[in-house]
Structure 1
Amino acid sequence: MLSLPIRSPAGDVTAVHAYDVAVTDTLKSYPTLNFSFIANEDNEVAEKMIAPRTIITDPTTGQQYRIATSNPVPTNKYRVYAVTTIHIAHDLHDLYLDNTITGSQSLKACCDFLVSGSKFSYSIDGNISDHDFGSDTLGNAHGDDVLSSIAEAFGIEFWFDNTTIHLATKIGKDNSFVFIDKVNASKIQVSEDYTTIETAIKGTGKEIEQDNTGGDSGGGSGAVASFARQYAGTPYVWGGNTPSGWDCSGFVAYVYNHFGIPMRQPTTYEEYQGQVVGPPYQEGDMLFWGPRGDTWHVALALDSNTLEMAANPDRGTVIQAISAWPPDFGVRNAQMAAKVQGSSSDDSSTSDTIEQQPQYTCQGEYYSPMADDSKWGKIWADPFTSDTITDENVLKDAMKAQLHDYPDIEYTMDWVSFKNNLSDINNEIAVGNNGWLRDRFGIDVNVRVQSFTQYKDPTTTQTDTITFGNKIFGPDEWNSRNEAAKSAISNGGTSRQTHNITPPVTADDIPVIGG
């Protein structure tokens, strides 16, 4: 039995004498506390307090829980209650945030928005970069949903100390436990799910705003832009001026010369081949960075919102929004402007609008190392889109993070299996903690506590359980596992026999983890 403090919404306080008191804590979720009690004379007052909004306190930690469900079952003499409760932090759901925020926001600003005017507070561990929500909004939802949206947007995790929300890039401690099958652990169960694997993904960044009108309001006819666009992806070569490779001024000169307008490198020559203009720019304008007379970069305007340039050796020739990197000034060449306007006038008589395919500031594909045909092959994920990313490298990193190119693997074992097995090993178990587990192939795997259930009353006959969840494997580790399994089979054994360790492992061989 365990006496649990219980408080009614009216403030009345007593204790319920409960058994099978179990706390379950799961990563990225709200802890629960479940218990049973007999409605005898000792619990007569407590039984009357089993009602909505009643609070139960875990006397071992001080954490508070609200009653969620109650299931009384009649017996010969007394009713037996099975009660489930959820952590007080779930009161976030009581809040409804009517307002919204958008654009670039810090984590602090989002948390202030979440807890404003409520009983909740927060603590942020470490420096976490701002997030640009783009055209998306945060808010107009219940508080718990807003917290989930914040965690997803910033890529963070959280845990609760009653009404204080703790946020960090990663919660838990590293190297906090060591478990080896048949040494200080047993009954290790493994669940492997291969159905969620994806090895290839396509992605697009922020869409470029385009003018689909046929007149000169869009900055030109589109002939120059159409010609230039076909060279997106051309390599950057210092001093080059052909489609086999060019630098920034070489690219602009090539386009101009194609339309019969003499032009040559470098930027300090090109910047004087016309009249200085500011935004809005039009098709064919040359866009410069640096002071006039000492410019160091040039791009070509495709319309009033978009430019194309030979960026650098890493990016090559790219198309992006002008607003992503505004130039210092523009230069409008009279011959190019006349050519653009002349073509525009000719075209406007046939059509008022031009149907244009979407254009993006950056786009690409990412393939996992496991996408090779000799491994898992290409398994395409849903396309990734972003209305804020304008850089190819940032897009690639985002696609890589989005791709689920590993199996979901869970290791589960009964807590009683490893309690006090080896006094030389101090294992610290908490959700989010990392440690080491020797798996069924004899491979040492770094795993993380995803969930655990602990029974609080000392006389219970129930078994505590722990789940080490969702290990992310790299290709090398996966190949090592396969080789270990093949070796076990070729030696006449089964994969379950690979726990045998030569030489035998003793407590002295296992690192002591401070807890």
Structure 2
Amino acid sequence: MLWLQDTNGDQTAISGAFEIAITETQGSFDQLSFKFVVDPTDAEDPNYVAATMILPRTIVVEPITGKKFRILQPQPESLGDKLLYTITCTSIAYDLHDMYIETKLENTQSLTACLDLITNGTSFKYHTTGSFANYSFSEGFGGDFSDTLLSNLASDFGFEYYFNNYDIYIQSTIGKSGAFLFVENANATKFVRQEDYSVITTYIKGYGKQNDDGSYATTADYTSPLASNWGKIWASPYSSDSITAQATLLAYLKSQIHDYPDVQYTMSYTDFINNVQGFKNDTTPGNYGWLRNRFEIDVSVRVQSRTLYPQQQDSGQAGSITFGNKIFDPNYFFNQLKNGYQENYKLG
């Protein structure tokens, strides 16, 4: 069952909702999707009132998790003499996007001052854990939507965050270590490994502050040591209106190089809380844990996102987990090349 609340505060339940799925993603807004059937010509239909409340700004509450969502995309379609509604929602935390901050804070600011600016006049409250040094804004802070500014703050001050409805929780690193253990064919069906080589870069050029005569205060370029293996692969050139020291520019260029493949694991499972060898798993996005199988996979990974069916007895569906990029020792790939060469040599 799900609950609806419209802008007047009126509430009603959706009867027989099915395929109720929540997708949680680290550093993003939760998503909810579900379906229900209604006879729009029968005022006695249990979902007749609910169908009339599928309107902009209507809130959907999933009672097991307590999460609240805004309806974004309702899709009604004919199903015989009834209507089938397919509904997509996003977390009520997306209300942060309702506010555009016109003013700007200048120069050096504390995290508290910045958070006060983007939450003032909203229903949001923030909670910080740990301390964060002040940050100097070369072009001021503001002039954008509150959710975009929050994302910018995370990059500037070096923190991660998550939402619980209207509460924003901020700390240096979200999640805990050793939170789960999944063993293929024990408490997980199988692991799917996906490698992406298109992201590799090994060379970048940068330009510092431009002088009045068109020259630059400093320039630099950086070549990754792995260019000897992957080749010279350009990243987009970088320019800055504030950097005047070559050492500063070079350090930034090094941080922009992505000289390794992205390697991601996904996994389907029967239940989020599943015991194996006495281990109780917690797959909240941001948590770290282990994946193991008998084909040389024994890696520590972090949960990037998960899809769960909180009312699974109604859906009969299994969920899935996506684990974030795992940076492997480059020697792993080079050993693959070496082994491939040796085996090919044996074959002549």
TM-superposition CA deviations, 1:317-373 (whole Å, max 9, x none): xxxxxxxxxxxxxxxxxxxxxxxxxxxxxxxxxxxxxx573223xx533333322x1
- 1:284-309: CA deviation from partner (whole Å, max 9, x where unpaired): xxxxxxxxxxxxxxxxxxxxxxxxxx
Q: Could you say if the C-alpha distance between residues 465 and 490 of structure 1 is closer, same or farther in structure 2, counting changes exceeding 3 Å?
A: farther
Q: Distance in 2 between matches of 1:117 and 1:391?
A: 41
1:361-412: per-residue Cα shift (whole Å, max 9, x none)?
xx533333322x1x21332222333444555554444333222222122211
1:132 aligns with 2:131: no
Contact 1:413 1:466 in 2 (8 A): yes
Which one of 73, 84, 87 corresponds to residue 69 of structure 1? 73
CA distance in structure 1 between the aligned counterparts of 2:133 and 2:249, rounded to whole angstroms: 16
CA contact (8 A) 1:35 1:82 kept: yes
2:163 aligned residue: 160
Provide the rounded CA distance (Å) in 1 between the counterparts of 2:20 and 2:295. 36
Going from structure 1 to structure 2, the CA distance change for 1:418 and 1:451 (only over 3 Å counts) comes to: closer
Q: Which residue of 2 aligns with 1:480?
A: 332
> Shift of the alpha carbon at 1:22?
0.4
Given residue 29 of structure 1, which amino acid in structure 2 is its aligned partner? S
Report the CA distance shift for 1:392/1:455 in structure 2 as closer, same or farther (over 3 A).
same
Does residue 196 (structure 1) correspond to residue 54 (structure 2)? The answer is no
Instruction: Report the Cα offset of residue 149 of structure 1.
Output: 2.3
Note if 1:117 corresponds to 2:121: yes
Alignment of 1:108-507 (within 5 A): 108-134=112-138, 136-206=139-209, 355=213, 357-360=215-218, 363-371=219-227, 373=228, 375-389=229-243, 393-416=247-270, 420=274, 422-438=276-292, 442-459=296-313, 460-473=315-328, 477-480=329-332, 482-483=334-335
Whole-Å separation in 2 of the counterparts to 1:130 and 1:440 = 48
Residue 155 of structure 1 and its aligned partner are, at CA, apart by 3.6
Query: Relative to structure 1, is the Cα distance of residues 154 and 482 closer, same or farther in structure 2, using a 3 angstrom cutoff?
Result: same
Tell me the residue number matched to 2:98. Answer: 94
Gaps of 5+ in 2: 40-44
| 2:207 and 2:216 in contact (8 A); partners too | no
Alignment deviations for residues 206-236 of structure 1 (CA, whole Å, 9 cap, x no partner): 56x67xxxxxxxxxxxxxxxxxxxxxxxxxx
Maintained 8 Å contact 1:178/1:427? yes
1:9-28 alignment, distance < 5 Å: 9-17=7-15, 18-28=17-27
Residue identity opposite 2:26 in structure 1: L
In structure 1, give the amino acid aligned to 2:95: D
Distance 1:71 1:438 in 2: 41
Equivalent residues of 1:172, 1:433 under 8 A apart: yes
Equivalent position of 1:38 in the other structure: 37
Q: SS of 1:53's equivalent?
A: coil
For residues 254 and 293 of structure 2, the distance between their equivalents in structure 1, rounded to whole angstroms, comes to 27
Structure exhibiting the larger radius of gyration computed from Cα positions:
1
Structure 1: how far apart are the matches of 2:272 and 2:68? Answer: 28
C-alpha distance 184-391 of structure 1, shift in aligned 2 (>3 A)? farther
Structure 1 outlier segments of 4+, above 6 Å: 488-492
8 Å Cα contact 2:188/2:269 also seen in 1: no
Give TM-score, length-normalised by structure 2: 0.86
Q: How far apart are residue 184 of structure 1 and its match?
A: 3.8
Amino acid at match of 1:367: T
Q: Is the 8 A contact 1:187 1:417 kept in 2?
A: no
Structure 1 unaligned regions, length at least 5: 211-354, 493-515
Equivalent of 2:89 in 71, 85, 92: 85
| Aligned length in residues | 337
Q: Name which of structure 1's ranges 46-55 and 377-386 shifts more when overlaid on structure 2.
A: 377-386
Q: Cα deviation per residue 1:101-137 (whole Å; 9 max; x = unaligned)?
A: 2322222221111111221111222222332221x23
- Which amino acid in structure 1 is aligned with residue 2 of structure 2? L
Q: Aligned partners of 1:491 and 1:58: how far apart in 2?
A: 55
Aligned to 1:369, the other structure's residue is in SS state coil
Task: Give the 3 Å change call, closer, same or farther, for CA 489–8 of structure 1 in structure 2.
Answer: farther
Displacement after TM superposition at 1:141 (Å): 2.0
Deviation, 1:192, is 1.0
Aligned to 2:42: none
SS at match of 2:276: coil
Asked whether the equivalents of residues 175 and 288 of structure 2 are also in contact (C-alpha less than 8 Å), the reply is yes
Is the contact between residue 66 and residue 86 of structure 1 (CA under 8 Å) also seen in structure 2? yes
CA contact (8 A) 1:185 1:418 kept: no
Q: Is the 8 A contact 1:15 1:46 kept in 2?
A: yes
From the superposition, tell whether residues 87 and 125 of structure 1 become closer, same or farther in structure 2 (CA, over 3 Å): same
State the identity %. Answer: 40
